């Protein structure tokens, strides 16, 4: 079990290198693939450094279960976030149903309700299921990115890509895309979900102490990082589109 107290390790060296050799504003390597499951309406697999997430989308379809959730003018988005029991260094005993997972699911739901054009599908339901296969920091951000790709794969119209990234603040410098070691080092971390074209923030979440004067710089850094992620996602989507259209022989 990784010890929580990492005060001894230098999160940012004097030359400006982090624990894994990145520079302060460098993102981890993002690799993604869309359409991994044939059965689901949309699916995507995304790796950001060592964090791996799998997202699956079903919908829009008729509301199953309780009729009380029906909205007459828009679709209802139902999200479920869970971590695989083998995703962390110590086996997770309760992968879903605990408070943290429920909170994450609520946040994901909130993020996508803002971005997906739900008015086009009244009285229906869209399910988004995300599973973390390996957790190395930035769980929320990787989930959001993977879910964006899955929703695009399902062909559900969205206002814009939803890109998310986490940033931390060490020694007056914002660090983009935190890994687990940096997150648990007691660093103030901010997770941001952004729609890059309009610069609109879909979700903003911050923990740990940060002086108010640094907030501006931190949000700026987060937005730049998200825009970077957005570019990568855009490339992935275009590539996938090319592959698919080649296969269908257009």
Query: Based on CB atoms, which residue is closest to other proteins, 208 or 244?
Result: 208
Rule CB under 8 A: say whether 172 interacts with other proteins.
no
How many residues of this chain bind other proteins (CB under 8 A)? 37
Distances (CA, A) of 221 to 97, 162, 192: 33, 17, 10
Q: Which residue's CB is nearer to other proteins, number 54 or number 193?
A: 193
Q: Could you give the dihedral angle defined by the CA atoms of residues 44, 231, 134 and 110, in that order, rounded to the nearest 10 degrees?
A: -70
Residue 230 backbone dihedrals phi, psi, to 5 degrees: -60, -40
- 206 CA to centre of own chain: 15
Q: How far is the CB of 109 from other proteins (least distance, A)?
A: 8
Q: Which of 128, 127, 194 is nearest to 159 (CA)?
A: 194
Provide, rounded to whole angstroms, the least separation between the CB of residue 185 and other proteins.
13
For residue 7, state whether it binds other proteins (rule: CB under 8 A).
no
Helix, strand or coil, per DSSP, at residue 60? strand
* DSSP 8-state assignment for residue 172: T
> Of the two residues 16 and 199, which places its CB atom closer to other proteins in the complex?
199
- Residue 165: CB atoms within 10 A of its CB come to 31
Indicate whether 239 belongs to the interface with other proteins (CB under 8 A).
Answer: no
CB atoms within 10 A of CB 152: 22
* Closer residue to other proteins, CB minimum distance, 97 or 249: 97
Helix axes 139-153, 215-247, angle to 10 degrees: 30
Residue 15 or residue 212: which is nearer to other proteins going by CB? 212
Q: How far apart (Å, rounded) are the C-alpha atoms in residues 33 and 54?
A: 10
Sketch the per residue contact string, 79 through 108, with other proteins: x for CB under 8 A, - otherwise.
--------------------xx-xx--xx-
Q: Examine residue 126 and tell whether it contacts other proteins (CB under 8 A).
A: no
- Whose Cβ is closer to other proteins: residue 28's or residue 107's? 107
Residue of 205, 174, 231 lying closest to 18 (CA atoms): 174
Q: Compute the least distance from the CB of residue 206 to other proteins, in Å.
A: 4
Q: Give min distance, CB of 99 to other proteins, in A.
A: 6
Residues near 125 by Cβ (< 8 Å), separated by ≥ 6?
A: 59, 60, 61, 62, 63, 64, 69, 75, 76, 77, 78
The reply to whether 67 sits near other proteins by the rule CB under 8 A is no
Q: Provide, rounded to whole angstroms, the least separation between the CB of residue 15 and other proteins.
A: 29
> Restricting to residues 174-233, which ones interact with other proteins according to CB under 8 A?
186, 190, 195, 198-213, 215-216, 219-220, 223
Determine which residue in the list 113, 123, 133, 181 makes contact with other proteins, applying CB under 8 A: 113
Residues that bind other proteins (CB under 8 A): 1, 3-4, 99-100, 102-103, 106-107, 110-111, 113-114, 186, 190, 195, 198-213, 215-216, 219-220, 223
């Amino acid at each position: 079990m990784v010890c929580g107290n990492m005060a001894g390790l230098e999160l940012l060296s004097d030359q400006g290198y982090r624990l894994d050799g990145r520079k302060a504003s460098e993102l981890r390597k993002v690799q993604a693939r869309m359409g991994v499951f044939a059965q689901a309406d949309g699916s995507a697999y995304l790796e950001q450094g060592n964090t791996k997430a799998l997202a699956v989308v079903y919908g829009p379809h008729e509301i199953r279960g309780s009729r009380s959730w029906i909205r007459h003018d828009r679709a209802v988005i139902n999200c479920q976030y869970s971590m695989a029991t083998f995703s962390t260094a110590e086996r997770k005993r309760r992968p879903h149903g605990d408070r943290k997972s429920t909170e994450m699911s609520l946040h994901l739901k909130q993020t996508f309700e803002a971005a997906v054009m739900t008015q086009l599908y009244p009285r229906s339901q869209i399910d988004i299921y995300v599973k973390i296969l390996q957790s190395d920091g930035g769980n929320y951000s990787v989930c959001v990115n993977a879910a964006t790709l899955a929703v695009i794969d399902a062909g559900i119209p969205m206002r814009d890509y939803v890109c998310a990234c986490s940033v931390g603040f060490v020694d007056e410098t914002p660090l983009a895309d935190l890994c687990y070691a940096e997150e648990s080092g007691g660093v103030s971390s901010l997770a941001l979900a952004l729609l890059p074209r309009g610069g609109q923030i879909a979700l903003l979440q911050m923990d740990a102490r940060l002086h108010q004067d640094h907030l501006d710089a931190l949000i700026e850094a987060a937005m730049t990082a998200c825009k970077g992620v957005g570019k990568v996602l855009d490339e992935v989507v275009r590539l996938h589109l090319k592959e698919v259209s080649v296969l269908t022989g257009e």
